[in-house]
Copies of this chain bind each other. A is one copy, B any other.
Amino acid sequence: MTHRIITISREFGSGGRTIGKEVAAKLGIPCYDHELIEKIAEESGFAAEYIKERGEYSSHRGWLASAFSDRDFNGHSTQDDLWFAQRKVILELAEKESCVIVGQCADYILKDSANCLNVFIHSDLDKRAERIVKQYGESDVTPEKRLKDKDKRRAAYYQFYTDHKWGAIQNYHITLNSGVLGIEKCVEIIAGLY
């Protein structure tokens, strides 16, 4: 395996996605984020919208409810089917080319099969709140509550399917506080490690 993969896990609003895109652009390799949803849609037959709603991005009905309900005679839920499709797509990507993958438990999925640099991006709550309001606009819910909800979902999703703790130092080769260090510095450091 000669491809090299950078996986980026991130707190919501930390700019992890932007950092991933910029690192990939700098290195001249593709970055998979929302593009992954399309690929999982193709693989699984589920609609992209459905995947967004049920997967790591879930913002309406919790995926957890689905993970425990609707199980078929093998004990598989539709949520599990999504997980297997996600896993397959990510393994195939890593097999095919060097790239940046944002989120989707890629660090865990690739841990035994690819040459990965695993990155976690976080930032202080106030800076993240400022960022999501700027990026996604205001909503009825306070930005702090939106951040906590989203991170909670990501953590629960990660924990459920990997049995590891999301955001635990030991899972990552490097973690960066983007609010203090700045997006550009984070991009420079990560690209420099490639």
Contact = CB atoms under 8 A, between A and B. Distances in A.
Interface of A: 120, 122, 167-170, 172-177, 180-181, 185, 189, 192-193
A73 B18 CA distance: 56
Contacts of A180: 173
A14 B180 CA distance: 25
B169 A174 contact: no
B174 A173 contact: no
Nearest to A174: B176
Chain A binding site: helix, strand, loop or mixed by DSSP?
mixed
A177 B172 CA distance: 7
Top 4 A-B pairs ranked by shortest CB distance?
Answer: A175-B175, A173-B177, A173-B180, A169-B175
Given A185-B193, A189-B189, A193-B185, A173 B176 contact: yes
A85 B120 CA distance: 36
Contacts of A122: 169-170
A89 B177 CA distance: 28
A181 B169 contact: no
A120 B168 CA distance: 12
Contact of A173 (B173, B181, B192): B181
Contacts of A170: 122
Which among A120, A122, A175 has the highest number of chain B CB atoms within 10 Å? A175
